[in-house]
Amino acid sequence: MWITLLVLFMLLAACKPIAPVGAPAEPSATPVAPASSVDSALSYSLSGIQITLRRPGGWQSYADEAGIALAENPGSMIEGDVLQGILLYFWLPPLDQFVLPVTDGANVALMVLNQVIARPEHVGSGSISAPQPFNWGQQSAAYYMLADAEDVTLVIAVVVPGGSRLLAMNLSAPLSEAQRIRTELAALLAGLTVNGSVMDAAALQRLSQTLEFPH
């Protein structure tokens, strides 16, 4: 899928591992550190939003000014131009590109995703599901799914706790591994905190039981 290819190509080209909040910046020429064999917690500030997440053992993590990525097999797409394993990417959508609700209580995430899928430049030419709302703990959220002949992607957007921004995330996998997004969604995002608020993993466990990628 073209979004997956573009995201991982940019991140690998940058060769910039995520550093914890407050750590000195690494020189751009520094090689990527080998992936740790054990799970580790990472903290990162993305445009002022504080994000803590779990990096599974054996995975690699990258960051640029636009977002944060966790890659199960980051070299696969550069070596063979094919995604192998799961790619998880976080970013903050620029909300000035969208029409936002003027009434309190509206699901901003759902409204934005409905506008995203109407723009071919954002979603490409694959099959797309209609965005669906859900509550991620106390936060309004929404998701949609994409699929093409090679990859599947789950896109989730959630209102940032204590703010008016949206945090978006892509989970992409090869079409042959689509079931893994369903089975590993809650575990991959377990321990995620945004601005100090723990995001409810149980909500994702319930969500994963309803996911059906479009054909």
The pair of three-digit structure tokens given for residue 25, joined into one six-digit string: 């910046």
Domain boundaries, the chain: 2-208
pLDDT, tens digit, 9 for 90 and up, residues 190-213: 999 999 999 998 999 999 988 999
The rounded distance, in Å, linking the Cα atoms of 23 and 26 is 9
d(CA 29, CA 197): 35
pLDDT tens digits, one per residue of 87-101:
999 999 888 889 988
Provide the pLDDT for residue 210.
87
Kindly report, residue by residue over 160-170, the tens digit of the pLDDT: 998 889 999 99
Instruction: Look at the block and give the residue holding tokens 């969500």.
Output: 207
Q: From 138, 164, 171, 143, select the one nearest 47 (Cα to Cα).
A: 164
Query: Which of the four pLDDT bands, split at 50, 70 and 90, describes residue 177?
Result: very high
CB 112 within 8 A of CB 94: no
Q: Check whether 102 has a pLDDT greater than 80.
A: no
| Candidate ranges 78-87, 122-131, 139-148; pick with highest mean pLDDT | 139-148
CATH numeric code, 2-208:
3.40.1000.10
Tell me how long the chain is: 215
- Reported in sequence order, the residue ranges of 60-108 that DSSP labels E, i.e. its strands, are 60-63, 67-71, 87-91
Cα–Cα distance measured from residue 131 to residue 113, given in angstroms and rounded to the nearest whole number = 6
Q: How confident is the model at residue 1 (pLDDT cuts 50, 70, 90)?
A: very low
Is 19 a residue whose pLDDT tops 60? no
